Amino acid sequence: MSETLVLENAMIVTPDEVLHGWIALANGRIAEIGTGRPPARGTDMAGDYLLPGLVELHTDHLESHLAPRPKVRWHHLSAVLAYDAQIAASGITTVFDSLRVGSDVDSRSLAGEIGAIAGAVETARTEGLLRVDHRMHLRCEICASDVIEETTHILGQFRIDLISLMDHTPGARQFRDTSTWKIYYGGKSGMTDAHLEIMIQDRVVLHHANHDRHRASLVALAKSHGIVLASHDDTTLAHVAESAADGIRLAEFPTTVEAAAASHAQGIQVMMGAPNVVRGGSHSGNVSAETLAREGVLDILSSDYVPASLLMGAFELAHRIEGFTLPRAVKTVSLNPALATGLTDRGALEAGLKADIVRVHMAGSLPVVREIWRDAQRVI
């Protein structure tokens, strides 16, 4: 039996309310929660918030540690550990490491290195070097010629917990306006406008050649391995109908209110970017997360490209959106993503669940992570 740790004088954010009281942790689990003073003195939280550890489903931030500059590749294990530390310091205790499968025009593409990267994460886990519970999310570029081969190879080597079906063809979904595609990929790749025009033509050809058959193959692969499926950038009712038929459980970043509302009505959890909330809009000009929150069709937030945005986004929802209490907002970054991916042992401050806890101090209106516990062990 492990020693019981008691955290007292805290504002405890449960799924339904905020309590002033204490929480007892033992054997990696939440043992008890109470109001007022605990039976035995504990560690004083000085009135700070205690939240469940955040659950992040879609962050590609690991790629920036692995390829910090064009043509630069960093030591895989070193990159994984730096990334893990940043994720933990952002209040995240469960992270789905999102790795792109299928070659792309981005000069920082890590195609061909996925196996080595996944191996580095596994090495860090085996050696006890990780602060966070890492799971793997394959972001499959379904029109890429090599996506089926790469995905099949990875599934034969590693456990995969989530697969998202991405189609970044210019003129569709996120990039309905091809000029937006050129700005986005031109900035990432450094290609000239003339080269980008050629790439647009090539991508459209690949879409027509590969989209339908590759999507069907990836859906079949995911189902045969029991992997949760996510759509990506659904825009129309037809996209949502296809997602529902394919057994999609999570809609990543729908680009229109229409698609988000239809997904929500189908029982598909709607996920938007926390940076979208913090910034007040989409960086690519699509529907804002705040709009979906006001419409009542926002279920989950993802930090996407800024890990610290996840905690900020939850507090911003509670501050700005009528009807979004702090418990409801916190569920978008904890319980809802956990349940969407079948993780029923975490995501809430309730007796019996994993003792993954974030201590949050308010510096004015900014939530600041002070301490993190995972399985009742302090990691930050």
Residue 328, pLDDT score: 98
Q: What is the pLDDT of residues 69-99, one digit of tens each?
A: 878 999 999 999 999 999 999 999 999 999 9
275, pLDDT greater than 90 = yes
The residue among 330 and 181 whose pLDDT is bigger is 330
The residue among 362 and 185 whose pLDDT is bigger is 362
Band of residue 111 on the pLDDT scale cut at 50, 70, 90: low
**Residue 176: C-alpha distances to residues 276, 283, 285 (Å):** 19, 14, 10
Top CATH class of 54-345 equals alpha beta
For residues 214 and 140, give the distance between their C-alpha atoms in angstroms, rounded to a whole number. Answer: 10
Residue 49, pLDDT score: 99
Residue 178, pLDDT score: 64
Number of other CB atoms surrounding residue 92 within 10 Å: 29
For residues 338 and 269, give the distance between their C-alpha atoms in angstroms, rounded to a whole number. Answer: 11
**Mean pLDDT across the chain:** 92
Average pLDDT over residues 354-376: 99
For residues 12 and 224, give the distance between their C-alpha atoms in angstroms, rounded to a whole number. Answer: 41
Average pLDDT over residues 108-126: 83
The residue among 60 and 268 whose pLDDT is bigger is 268
- Domain ranges, ordered by start, for the chain: 1-52+347-380, 54-345
Residue 114, pLDDT score: 83
The residue among 202 and 362 whose pLDDT is bigger is 362
For residues 119 and 121, give the distance between their C-alpha atoms in angstroms, rounded to a whole number. Answer: 5
Residue 219, pLDDT score: 98
Residue 208, pLDDT score: 78
Residue 175, pLDDT score: 63
Q: What is the pLDDT of residues 280-328, one digit of tens each?
A: 877 666 899 999 999 999 999 999 999 999 999 999 999 999 999 999 9
331, pLDDT greater than 80 = yes
Highest-pLDDT range among 60-74, 90-104, 324-338 = 324-338
Average pLDDT over residues 136-142: 95
Contact by Cβ (8 Å): 357, 50:
yes
Residue 364, pLDDT score: 97
Question: How is domain 1-52+347-380 classified at the architecture level of CATH?
Answer: Roll (2.30)
Residue 204, pLDDT score: 75
The residue among 364 and 115 whose pLDDT is bigger is 364
Q: Residue 113 — φ and ψ, nearest 5°?
A: -110, 0
Average pLDDT over residues 148-158: 93
187, pLDDT greater than 80 = no
Band of residue 268 on the pLDDT scale cut at 50, 70, 90: very high
Greatest CA span in the chain, whole angstroms?
Answer: 71
1, pLDDT greater than 50 = no
Residue 206, pLDDT score: 81
